[in-house]
Chains A and B, each alone.
Chain A
Amino acid sequence: DQQVKQNSPSLSVQEGRISILNCDYTNSMFDYFLWYKKYPAEGPTFLISISSIKDKNEDGRFTVFLNKSAKHLSLHIVPSQPGDSAVYFCAALSPGGGADGLTFGKGTHLIIQP
């Protein structure tokens, strides 16, 4: 049973527009959420994270929103750039962190069109 779900396998956005990537989770014990970006044949690169005590975290062009009641988070990229084309993974961590490692979604392939 997938505890972290990214229901859009792919997303195409025009350069300069906003990219919105969505993620849903089912385990209410998750208390820390992270987004990773992955290029082919490379490991995931950490982008941004958010604690469950917050509802928004911003870092440059990247903003993550968390809606705990809906068990939903989203990553906004504004403006989208060609280099943002990659697979984006949503990941979640339980309290104490290590016991189960990070739980990942299946990823969303973001394609930025010129």
Chain B
Amino acid sequence: DTGVSQDPRHKITKRGQNVTFRCDPISEHNRLYWYRQTLGQGPEFLTYFQNEAQLEKSRLLSDRFSAERPKGSFSTLEIQRTEQGDSAMYLCASSFVRLIQETQYFGPGTRLLVL
């Protein structure tokens, strides 16, 4: 399977703990995105990388959130001092930008529950 993969698929943590999620994009894709989806909403953009450079962050991404993409391959999203409001599905997507228009392909997501 050469699609986008995410790990773990589910995470339950206690408030105040730190969590880290991993995303492996489609291998030839140069852009990687993180989104968050809560119940009844569509995915909301958090941040994206072009190769290893983080080029944009949404205002949704508070100081407790940090994302990295070392060497332009896989990416990690860390949430420090988790809060109950962080409970959501965290989605990763990747794309290959060759023309102006791009199609993003999503992974299965990591469902986070903060108790």
- Contact A102/B31 with A31-B101, A43-B108, A46-B103 known, Cβ cut-off 8 Å: no
B contact residues, range: 20 to 34
- Contact A34/B44 with A44-B91, A98-B55 known, Cβ cut-off 8 Å: no
Q: Enumerate chain A interface residues (CB-CB to B < 8 A).
A: 4, 31-32, 34, 36, 41-46, 49, 51, 89, 91, 93, 95-107
Contacts between chains A and B (CB distance < 8 A), count = 80
B97 A106 Cβ-Cβ under 8 A: no
Tell me, yes or no, whether B21 is within 8 Å of chain A by CB: no
Tell me, yes or no, whether B74 is within 8 Å of chain A by CB: no
A36 B48 Cβ-Cβ under 8 A: no
B100 A99 Cβ-Cβ under 8 A: no
Interface-lining segment among B11-19, B33-41, B78-86: B33-41
A32 B101 Cβ-Cβ under 8 A: yes
Please, which residue of chain B has its CB at the minimum distance from the CB of A95? B100
